[in-house]
């Protein structure tokens, strides 16, 4: 399937996925790890390391453990107008004796040098009524509510004797202060994880593991007594998802990249049928419909997923009896990738999604004229959203469809060299369909 054919099922959405999610936690700006090399390279602290400068861009990181990977998110805010700036309190938090977040916000510095430098720089906001800057802090929450919160600062007063700064600071949503920004969710090897990132709860993986062993069908239909069981049916593996959003003067850029990791699906059926079926039988059912744990950055964005598995069975006109077990398995290469660029489809990628197909063990005892067809289709919906921009990606992974024609024949040599056995001719074929 060509990449251009994948566009039809890509749709925008403007809601937050309502499934359970791993909450990524803030990674402090003053302790960048190997993962955060970009942040370390872009640090905007002064030569003396006080970190009280007003700057025109700032990066924020969040992270969480995901098996052998570290899942991380990066939001970088950019300010291009001369009357706008930003500062991250994490960069100078060690200089503060106390922080009070009620209006006016009050910062008390530990000593005169740090207070003097901050007041000298920050007094810029009082020079013009249009001057403002964004201050982001984690100091304005308690307990489970501790989180980064942006404030818009319009005026400041300074009290020299007490080393206190009083800010006219209004709390804002991230979407209100993010005029030009980039946002990324991705993975990095856990060996590079920052030591400041504590484990909170179990490791996260966007896991596709499921099992749906059960009876699928048991009833009499038009003279045929039919029973079909899923004796060994399920999916395994996980997905790695990268999400990128760039909002700037030239309009938004939005992309999502998906890589499967050890993804496989398998269906092994046991079927018994006896009697006469005068007309074709068609049956299908969604056996599994589950939400997959997602990734969440509080008040900023989220990635979520949903897994559906549909199984279908059809029999043509039928006479006789059969006891059989059959099935197939598909496995995707870890090198498979789909990279969707919403506003630049021509430069996307779609490759490696042709699965490896394997027949599962086949057993048969039959004296019958008829045929049976089986298919199973796992469908994965991925949803990513950040600051009111997002997309949804749907992947329909058609498993091998198995078609078996049974023809009871009298064999002069028999089967397994016995005269009384019934011989059965087997014709099996498989096909795969993937849509995005």
pLDDT in tens, 49-64: 578 999 999 999 988 8
Helix (H, G, I), strand (E, B) or coil at 142: coil
* Segment 1-10 mean pLDDT: 33
Torsion of CA 170, 184, 256, 242, to 10 degrees: -140
Handedness of CA 25, 26, 32, 35 (dihedral sign): positive
* Segment 136-153 mean pLDDT: 82
Query: Any idea what DSSP says for residue 364?
Result: E
How far apart, in whole angstroms, are the C-alpha atoms of residue 429 and residue 377?
A: 16
Torsion of CA 105, 111, 117, 122, to 10 degrees: 10
Helix or strand holding residue 319 (H, E): strand 318-331
CA distances from 395 to 234, 308, 328 (A): 17, 10, 20
Range ranked top by mean pLDDT from 61-70, 132-141, 213-222, 325-334: 132-141
Task: Give the rounded distance of the alpha carbon of 379 from its chain centre.
Answer: 14
pLDDT in tens, 271-296: 888 888 877 888 888 877 878 778 88
- Cβ 373 vs Cβ 396: under 8 Å: no
pLDDT for residue 173: 94
How far apart, in whole angstroms, are the C-alpha atoms of residue 208 and residue 231?
A: 19
Helix or strand holding residue 176 (H, E): helix 174-177
What contacts 64, CB < 8 A, 6 or more positions away?
22, 23, 24, 25, 70, 71, 72, 197, 200, 204, 295
DSSP 52-76: ---BSEEEEEEEEEETTEEEEEEEE
pLDDT in tens, 359-412: 777 777 766 677 777 777 778 888 888 888 887 878 777 666 677 766 543 333
Nearest Cα residue to 267 out of 352, 332, 333, 362 = 362
pLDDT for residue 169: 94
* Segment 124-136 mean pLDDT: 95
Name the burial class of residue 335, with classes exposed (0-12), middle (13-18) and buried (19+) by CB atoms within 10 angstroms of its CB.
exposed
Task: Write down the mean pLDDT value for the chain.
Answer: 76
What contacts 18, CB < 8 A, 6 or more positions away?
none
pTM: 0.74
* Segment 330-341 mean pLDDT: 87
Strand partners, 386: 301, 389
DSSP 383-394: EEEETTEEEEEE
pLDDT for residue 352: 84
Query: Any idea what DSSP says for residue 360?
Result: P
- Cβ 153 vs Cβ 137: under 8 Å: no
pLDDT for residue 407: 58
Q: Is the pLDDT confidence value at 322 over 90?
A: no
- Cβ 388 vs Cβ 12: under 8 Å: no
Lowest model confidence (mean pLDDT) among 37-41, 124-128, 324-328: 37-41
Nearest Cα residue to 427 out of 311, 326, 280, 279 = 326
CA distances from 417 to 92, 361, 368, 420, 436 (A): 86, 21, 20, 9, 50
pLDDT for residue 366: 64
Q: Kindly provide the residue ranges of all beta strands, DSSP E only, lying in 18-148, ordered along the sequence.
A: 21-23, 25-27, 57-66, 69-78, 84-88, 96-100, 105-109, 132-137
Q: Is the pLDDT confidence value at 415 over 50?
A: no
Helix (H, G, I), strand (E, B) or coil at 351: strand
pLDDT for residue 13: 28
């Amino acid at each position: 399937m060509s990449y251009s054919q994948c566009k039809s099922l890509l749709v925008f959405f403007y809601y937050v996925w309502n499934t359970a999610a791993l909450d990524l936690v803030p990674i402090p700006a003053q302790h960048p790890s190997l993962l955060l090399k970009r942040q370390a390279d872009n640090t905007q602290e002064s030569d003396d390391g006080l970190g009280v400068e007003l700057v025109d861009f700032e990066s924020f990181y969040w992270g969480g453990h995901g098996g052998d990977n570290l899942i991380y998110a990066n939001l970088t805010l950019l300010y291009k107008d001369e009357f706008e700036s930003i500062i991250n309190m994490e960069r100078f938090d060690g200089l503060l004796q106390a922080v009070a977040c009620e209006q006016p916000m009050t910062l008390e510095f530990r000593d005169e040098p740090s207070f003097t430098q901050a007041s000298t720089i920050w007094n810029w906001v009082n020079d013009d009524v249009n001057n403002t800057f964004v201050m982001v802090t984690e100091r304005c929450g308690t307990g489970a509510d501790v989180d980064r919160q942006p404030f818009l600062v319009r005026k400041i007063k300074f009290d020299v004797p007490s080393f206190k700064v009083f800010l006219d600071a209004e709390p804002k949503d991230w979407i209100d202060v993010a005029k030009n920004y980039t946002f990324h969710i991705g993975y990095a090897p856990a060996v590079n994880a920052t030591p400041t990132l504590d484990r909170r709860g179990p490791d996260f993986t966007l896991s596709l593991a499921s099992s749906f062993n059960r009876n699928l069908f048991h009833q009499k239909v038009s003279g045929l007594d039919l029973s079909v069981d899923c004796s060994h049916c399920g999916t395994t593996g996980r997905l790695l998802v990268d999400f990128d959003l760039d909002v700037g003067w030239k309009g938004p850029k939005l992309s999502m990249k998906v890589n499967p990791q050890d993804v496989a699906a398998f269906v092994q059926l046991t079927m018994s049928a006896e009697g006469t079926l005068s007309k074709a039988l068609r049956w299908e059912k969604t056996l599994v419909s589950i939400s997959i744990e997602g990734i969440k950055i509080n008040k900023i964005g989220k990635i979520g997923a949903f897994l559906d598995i549909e199984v279908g069975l059809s029999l043509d006109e039928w006479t006789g009896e059969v006891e059989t077990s059959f099935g197939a398995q598909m496995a995707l290469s870890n090198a498979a990738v789909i990279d969707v660029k919403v506003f630049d489809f021509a430069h996307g990628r779609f490759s490696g999604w042709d699965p490896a197909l394997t027949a599962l063990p086949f057993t048969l005892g039959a004296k019958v004229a008829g045929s049976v067809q089986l298919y199973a289709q796992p469908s994965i919906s991925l949803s990513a959203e950040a600051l009111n921009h997002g997309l949804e990606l749907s992947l329909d992974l058609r498993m091998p469809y198995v078609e078996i024609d049974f023809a009871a024949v009298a064999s002069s040599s028999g089967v397994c060299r016995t005269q009384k056995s019934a011989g059965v001719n087997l014709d099996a074929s498989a096909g795969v369909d993937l849509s995005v």
